[in-house]
Chains A and B, each alone.
Chain A
Amino acid sequence: MDFKEAAKLGSYISKDYAEDLFRLLATYSSISASEASSRLDLHVKTVQDFLEAMFDLDILEREEVYEKKRPYYRYTLKVKKISLELDLQYLFPSETKDEKTNLRIRERMNAGARFTTARSDQYISNIAIWTGKGRERTERRINLSIPQGQFLYHLPFPSAECQSIKAIMQKAGLNSAHTSEILDIVDALIEFGVIETG
């Protein structure tokens, strides 16, 4: 199950009527949205959305029925157990991170970011960046972890030569255990236009 499906399932499962609806589905061999809504005293649209979502997630199966009136769907519970298994493996940085540390970067000229230096030691505690335009312009503050702050403290100035992420980390006294979080903040700051590559 991917994140999108898990989110959908999670949001519907969390409804207070979800258990009652599943009880009806388990009790009836098949049930329509109208029957279920009248049985539970819910709006038909609410039940319809729930049943359709479960169908999309392959938990229910549906059959189109033609009676005297216009066609409608009857839903049948397909499974007796729902497992929510989410694979987080792809979120971990890939092996290419070693290559990414060779990326040469520096602070972008006139980036407009405000760096706040920690009083206690040599690191940046947070960055304030202005995002949006006109009336939508807002200040976005990013609080940094200490290794990230130490890294940004040693980031080359806009007028200086670009340096590789690896070299900056070395200068800041950071070991490879912090590479993931450093790459994360570098990516974010490239996106915000605070850091440029060269």
Chain B
Amino acid sequence: MYFIRKLKSQQLGIELIALLFFLLAIIIVFLTWGPRAGWGIIAIVEFFVVIMHMNMYFKTKNTSFLWLSFAFIIIVIFAVQISIFGMTKTDPEYIPSVIAAIAAFLIIAIIIVNKKSKWRTREMLELAAMPVDQTGNGFTERPFSCGIIDATTNEIESFARFISKNMIAMTYRENDKIIFSFPSSWLKQNGLKRGYKGDSWISVSTRGDVSVFISRKDYLCYQDTFSFDQLCTNLALLFTGFFELYKKGEGIRIMDKLNALRLNPITE
């Protein structure tokens, strides 16, 4: 689907710094203590990545994280093996390990390319802004009340599980409402920080009252000062539309709509 981008291009923040720091540490270890020590460091770091993905699985119940955990465990084992025993090109015992590692990288690549473990915050913000052309700012820190949806508590709960599983929003249960938060920080997206403060969100009460909040940080991600009330209205309409699709059993259409934007699976 061709569309005019309304969001500024993604700026790599803490992820890039973390990656560069990690690469630098590996290089230093490789040069100072040799390749086996370097592989040891890789094993340790990847072990934390396994824990992080397991944590994300328990948070979202998204099975892609189980696959990722599995793939990273293989990489950890591979790295530990080299770190302890070393590796020579002629040694045939390493062939199964190398094949397993290649398979693990393939699993990771498939999941990333298919956006199975990607948070859809930018897709949601793009879709919300798609019909908005009017500019005029109007940002406010008040949530926008957008009426009531006809839904039972069970339907909302079930929809929340679907949304969480498909990485559309992170869900928080609070008194008699569910908050669907769109995490934009790397720490929150990777389950290293909790809470929806500072993020955009949609809340749906058990009575069906829908409220929308777009955070200042997310609003500043737009290329222009789009009419704030229209953005909020569209985000609410988009979300209630998703709910209606889900109720009809057409959840796959929601994912199609998000995937149709063809945002970059790594940088966005």
Contact = CB atoms under 8 A, between A and B. Distances in A.
A122 B137 contact: no
Interface stretch (B43-51, B117-125, B139-147, B245-253): B139-147
Contacts of B140: 107, 111, 115, 157-158
B211 interface: yes
A62 to B, nearest CB: 60
A114 interface: yes
A107 to B, nearest CB: 6
Nearest to A171: B145
B268 interface: no
B137 A109 contact: yes
Given A119-B174, A119-B175, A120-B175, A107 B230 contact: no
Contacts of B227: 159
A124 B143 CA distance: 9
A111 B228 CA distance: 14
A124 B142 contact: yes
B209 A122 contact: yes
Contact of A115 (B138, B139, B142): B142
B229 A157 contact: yes
A153 B211 CA distance: 10
Nearest to B225: A159
B228 A158 contact: yes
B211 A157 contact: no
A117 B143 contact: yes
A155 interface: yes
Nearest to B203: A122
A88 interface: no
Interface in B125-155: 134, 136-145
A119 B177 CA distance: 9
B141 A159 contact: no
Contact of A158 (B138, B176, B205): B138
A160 interface: yes
A169 to B, nearest CB: 13
B171 to A, nearest CB: 16
Interface in A148-197: 152-160, 171
Looking at A114, A117, A153, A160, which has the most chain B CB atoms within 10 Å of its CB? A160
Given A122-B205, A122-B211, A156 B229 contact: yes
Contacts of B136: 159
Contacts of B176: 120
B232 interface: yes
A119 B201 CA distance: 13
Given A119-B174, A120-B175, A122-B211, A159 B145 contact: no
Given A109-B138, A157-B232, A159-B230, 6 more contacts: A114-B141, A117-B142, A157-B140, A159-B138, A159-B227, A159-B229
Shortest Cβ-Cβ A-B pairs, 5 listed: A159-B138, A158-B138, A157-B229, A160-B229, A159-B227
Interface of A: 107, 109-111, 114-115, 117, 119-122, 124, 152-160, 171
